[in-house]
Structure 1
C-alpha cells in the first residue's frame, strides 16, 4: 500500500504489500506508532496481521543513529558518480526519514507510544 489505509471492524478480507512507512495501531484504548521497512498486510474477519521486514516502535528508535544514517545517505547521494544507481541509497534515506518522523510523533505525544 502506498498512502493510507484504515481498517475498521468487519472490514472485507484483504491481502496487500506494504511500502516502507509509518504504521499506526489503535487497539482498545491504546494507540502506538511503528516505523516499518515494508512487508505484507492481511485483513481477516477477526484480526489484522502485519508481516514487516523490520519494525521499530516509536520509543525504541535511536534518534542519533537515524540522524547519522540520514546524513550518510545524503552524503552518498551528493557524491555518487553520474549514472550510478542510487536506489539503495535512496531507500536507506527514506527509511531514516521515516524513523525520524515516527520518533518525533512519540516525542510530541505521551510516553509509552
Structure 2
C-alpha cells in the first residue's frame, strides 16, 4: 500500500469523491430531493427547469468553495494543534527514574 503522502503527490487521493455521509437520514433525504426535482421538472417544463438547474449549479459552486475553505481551515487547525502538542512534549513527559524531562 502506498503512503498517503505518495498518493497525494501523484494526484491519486480524491477524498471528495469517496465521501458518503453516514447520517441515517441521508439516503431518505437524497431520495426526496430527487423525487421533488422530478416533480419540478414536470411542473416547469424542460426549458425553465434547465434554467433552475443552472441556478442550483451556481449555488453548488459557491457551497463547494465554502466547504473547501472550511476543510482547509480545519486541517490547518489540526496541524497546528499537532505542532503545539508535540512542541510541548518535553513539558509533559518526565523520566520517572531521574525526574528529568524526556
Identify the structure with the greater helix proportion. Answer: 2
Larger Rg: 2
**Structure with the higher strand share, 1 or 2:** 1
Fold shared per TM-score above 0.5? no
Higher RCO, Cα 8 Å, sep 6+:
1
Normalised to the residue count of structure 2, the TM-score between the two structures is 0.31
